[in-house]
Structure 1
Amino acid sequence: MSPTLAFIGLGHMGAPMAANLVKAGHRVRGHDLVPAALDDAAQAGVEPAASAADAVADAEVVITMLPAGRHVLELYDTVLPAARPGTLFVDCSTIDVADARTAHERAVAAGMRSLDAPVSGGVVGAEAATLTFMAGGGEPEFTEARPLLEAMGSRVVHCGGEGAGQAAKICNNMILGISMIAVSEAFVLGESLGLSAQALYDVASTASGQCWALSVNCPVPGPVPTSPANRDYRPGFAASLMAKDLGLAADAARAGGVHTELGLRAAELYADYAERVGATEDFSGIVRTIREQSGEQPS
């Protein structure tokens, strides 16, 4: 028999993830502080719970998808006393490594089991069940959670012990943020030299400049029809989320004394960009800022 699941946090990412668990045949009890989000999830087969504590009461696995570490820790303080001993808590939020380890400690102290499993792939990946999960925790917990993660994604990697999933996520997104800035600068430079976006894409996408930021989330309209640039930068992965993740990476680098010159600069650029556009634009829209700073009109 499949386990009874609780899913807390039914926003843009959590709702399609929970829906894919329902499609896989699982009973999912869900809760979100936004009534409209809960109603939408119910349309996908998620059983609405009046509170987070109510959602976890009879669950064998609790999955959370929340904005920040403080939300995860506050939720754990509320729901750990309501859960059955031995319940597996799987946090898919992207949070600070230290907060992830604190969440693990609190879960274990309450007689529960725990796994951090942040995701990469954005809303499109959540809807298509093609997310990549980066898991941190014990081997038994990972083995138990793996079939559930595979119902929501196409790649599941056990990265190590407690907090390792979060470590992998912030390192991955530091690469992504830096590469998106580089790709955007290259397109603006190419335009100034009379090179069409399509020509640059045709070369770079099959040469040494190839990367995800170019071939999947291309920051200029045209070459990749499914990229946010072709829908006025409506977010798949919002600028505010990239700024948050790069901020986490920058904090970790400073705390560890690691020299990450490009990572720190990318964090600064995205913090400034997100302050202007928030969650209204995809992170690839930073190409508009580069155009503006180059004296061009944003497209």
Structure 2
Amino acid sequence: MPDIRSSQIGFIGLGQMGLGMAVNLLKAGFRLRGYDPRPEAMAALRSAGGEPAADNASLVQACDVVLTSLTCPVYLQVAREVLLPLARAGQVFIDTSTLPAPRAREMAAALEPRGAVGLDAPVTGGAAGAQTGRLRMFVGGDRRAFEHCLPMLRAVCKPDGVTYGGPAGMGQVMKVVQQLKNRLTDAVRLEVIAFGLRAGLSPDLVRRALDVKRGCDDRYETLLSAIEAGRGDTLDCVFAEWPYYLEEARAQGIPMPALEALYRFCKDGPKVCRDAVGRMAPSLWRELSTRARPAEGE
């Protein structure tokens, strides 16, 4: 493979995550061509020194390394319609999106007969991390391709922010662990708070029961303060990604009883919670705080 700094880099998906990463690659001196269907995103890329591509296909044909930052459904469509048909020997495809680990493994396997490599490299850190180059990234796939691309990946992450997890799909597995570390425990905390409030305790008596003080930095207080302020529906547990996590768990035969139960509980609720990347999903707080207990036998 040619030196990564002499390679033509392509970036598909210049949203609130992708644009920040693309701009930081340009700041680090990489040659970058990008595409997004939104004119304002293309204008922002051009003003940062990037080269707008006419479409996804021309970008793939012109680039040695292609990064993507898309929602899961859009990524799978672009992979099926553009990336796989146009992939050629020596190309590296790096997907920074969050998707089910089985889909990441399928993509890597489909690229292999073409002589190309697929790396799953989901990121965490939000739009602010993307803009400031302080993301964390978990990478799965071919180790040699990972090491070849590592200087480029480091340009969008904080120091020591890039971690190699092993074969294809393991980047997505690491992302599941990272996300559920706080999100699953937040879901349980919300259930505790909902029980106390719906059983008749005031918010301050809930605090007394939890042994937390108003205004402190305890996570229970953060959640309870948001609920008191009428922002319960904004409490994001990344519900939109839970089916991805469960797909891998089921594929591996790994029980996740808490996540399975919470997903079934929420999945049919109205989509009123907008997450950090703009996806709409049910609000766990709304379901916990308003739904009636099913009658016996239901």
Secondary structure of 1:148 counterpart? helix
Give a deviation string over 1:95-138, Cα, whole Å, max 9, x none. 11221111112222222122111112222222222211111012
Contact residue 96 and residue 120 of structure 2 kept, 8 A: yes
Matched, 1:195 2:207: yes
Question: Normalised by the size of structure 2, how large is the TM-score?
Answer: 0.76
**Structure 1 residues 104-143: aligned runs within 5 Å:** 104-143=108-147
> Is this contact kept in 2: 1:187–1:200, CA < 8 A?
no
Q: Does 2:273 correspond to 1:277?
A: yes
Label 1:203 to 1:75 Cα distance change in 2 as closer, same or farther (>3 A): closer
Contact 2:272-2:280 within 8 A present in 1 as well: no
Q: How many residues align?
A: 275
Shift of the 161–275 alpha-carbon distance from structure 1 to 2, 3 Å rule, reads same
Q: Which runs of 5 or more structure 2 residues have no equivalent in the other structure? A: 197-201, 293-298
Q: More displaced, 132-141 or 277-286?
A: 277-286
Identity of aligned residues (%): 27
Matched, 1:10 2:14: yes
Cα gap change, 1:260 to 1:128, in 2 (>3 Å) = same
Alignment of structure 1 residues 133-282 onto 2, 5 Å: 133-154=137-158, 155-185=161-191, 189=196, 191-193=203-205, 195=207, 199=213, 202=216, 204=218, 214=219, 218-219=222-223, 221=225, 242-269=238-265, 271-272=267-268, 275-279=271-275
Q: Distance in 2 between matches of 1:105 and 1:14?
A: 25
Among 54, 69, 75, which residue is 1:50 paired with?
A: 54
* Higher RCO (CA 8 Å, separation ≥ 6 residues): 2
Kept after mapping to 1: 8 A contact 2:10/2:60? yes
The residue identity in structure 2 corresponding to 1:263 is L
Q: Which piece of structure 1 moves more, 84-93 or 277-286?
A: 277-286
**How much is the aligned-residue C-alpha RMSD, in angstroms?**
3.6
Gaps of 5+ in 1: 205-213, 223-228, 295-299
CA pair 234-159 structure 1, distance change in 2 beyond 3 A: same
CA separation in 2, counterparts of 1:232 and 1:40? 32
1:13–1:218 Cα change, 3 Å = farther
Equivalent-residue separation in structure 2 for 1:161 and 1:136 (angstroms):
5
The residue aligned with 2:295 is none
SS in 1 for 2:180: helix
CA distance in 2 between partners of 1:234 and 1:144 (Å): 43
Native 8 Å contact 1:86 1:112 kept in 2: yes
